[in-house]
Amino acid sequence: MTWIRGACVQMKKATSAEEEEYMKKRCLDLLERYIYLILFNAYLHCDRYNKWQRSFSAWMSEVRQLLRVEL
Protein backbone atom coordinates (compact mmCIF):
# COMPACT_ATOMS: atom_id res chain seq x y z
CA MET A 1 0.00 0.00 0.00
CA THR A 2 2.94 2.36 0.58
CA TRP A 3 3.77 2.26 -3.13
CA ILE A 4 0.36 3.78 -3.91
CA ARG A 5 0.91 6.51 -1.35
CA GLY A 6 4.42 7.14 -2.70
CA ALA A 7 3.11 7.54 -6.24
CA CYS A 8 0.43 9.95 -5.01
CA VAL A 9 3.03 12.02 -3.14
CA GLN A 10 5.10 12.20 -6.32
CA MET A 11 1.99 13.32 -8.21
CA LYS A 12 1.55 16.23 -5.78
CA LYS A 13 5.21 17.18 -6.24
CA ALA A 14 4.92 17.21 -10.04
CA THR A 15 6.41 20.24 -11.71
CA SER A 16 4.45 20.01 -14.96
CA ALA A 17 0.95 19.08 -16.07
CA GLU A 18 2.31 16.16 -18.08
CA GLU A 19 4.19 14.77 -15.10
CA GLU A 20 1.14 15.21 -12.89
CA GLU A 21 -1.07 13.39 -15.41
CA TYR A 22 1.46 10.55 -15.70
CA MET A 23 1.64 10.14 -11.91
CA LYS A 24 -2.15 10.30 -11.62
CA LYS A 25 -2.44 7.45 -14.12
CA ARG A 26 0.24 5.53 -12.22
CA CYS A 27 -1.66 5.99 -8.94
CA LEU A 28 -4.85 4.69 -10.51
CA ASP A 29 -3.04 1.73 -12.10
CA LEU A 30 -1.47 0.79 -8.76
CA LEU A 31 -4.82 1.16 -6.99
CA GLU A 32 -6.49 -1.08 -9.58
CA ARG A 33 -3.76 -3.70 -9.10
CA TYR A 34 -4.29 -3.57 -5.32
CA ILE A 35 -8.06 -3.97 -5.72
CA TYR A 36 -7.57 -7.03 -7.94
CA LEU A 37 -5.26 -8.57 -5.31
CA ILE A 38 -7.97 -8.09 -2.69
CA LEU A 39 -10.60 -9.57 -5.00
CA PHE A 40 -8.40 -12.57 -5.84
CA ASN A 41 -7.86 -13.18 -2.14
CA ALA A 42 -11.65 -13.07 -1.62
CA TYR A 43 -12.09 -15.55 -4.49
CA LEU A 44 -9.57 -17.95 -2.94
CA HIS A 45 -11.36 -17.80 0.41
CA CYS A 46 -14.93 -17.89 -0.90
CA ASP A 47 -14.50 -20.63 -3.46
CA ARG A 48 -12.20 -22.95 -1.52
CA TYR A 49 -15.09 -25.16 -0.38
CA ASN A 50 -15.94 -25.80 -4.05
CA LYS A 51 -12.24 -26.49 -4.70
CA TRP A 52 -12.14 -23.60 -7.18
CA GLN A 53 -14.28 -25.33 -9.80
CA ARG A 54 -15.14 -22.01 -11.40
CA SER A 55 -12.48 -19.70 -12.72
CA PHE A 56 -11.59 -16.34 -11.21
CA SER A 57 -13.11 -14.68 -14.29
CA ALA A 58 -16.41 -16.51 -13.80
CA TRP A 59 -16.38 -15.63 -10.10
CA MET A 60 -15.68 -11.98 -10.93
CA SER A 61 -18.61 -11.89 -13.37
CA GLU A 62 -20.91 -13.24 -10.69
CA VAL A 63 -19.63 -10.83 -8.04
CA ARG A 64 -19.87 -7.92 -10.47
CA GLN A 65 -23.54 -8.71 -11.09
CA LEU A 66 -24.27 -9.12 -7.39
CA LEU A 67 -22.58 -5.87 -6.42
CA ARG A 68 -23.61 -4.02 -9.59
CA VAL A 69 -20.14 -2.58 -10.08
CA GLU A 70 -18.10 -2.05 -13.22
CA LEU A 71 -14.54 -3.36 -13.02
- Where is pLDDT greater, at 41 or 15? 41
Chain Cα centroid distance, residue 34: 4
Instruction: Decide: 63 and 39 in contact? Cβ < 8 Å.
Output: yes
pLDDT attached to residue 63: 84
User: What's the rounded Cα separation, in Å, for the pair 40 and 35?
Assistant: 9
pLDDT attached to residue 41: 95
Q: Is the pLDDT of residue 69 over 90?
A: no
**H helix intervals, 1-71:** 2-12, 17-46, 56-67
Q: Is the pLDDT of residue 2 over 90?
A: no
Instruction: Decide: 59 and 43 in contact? Cβ < 8 Å.
Output: yes
- Where is pLDDT greater, at 32 or 12? 32
| Domain boundary assignment for the chain | 2-67
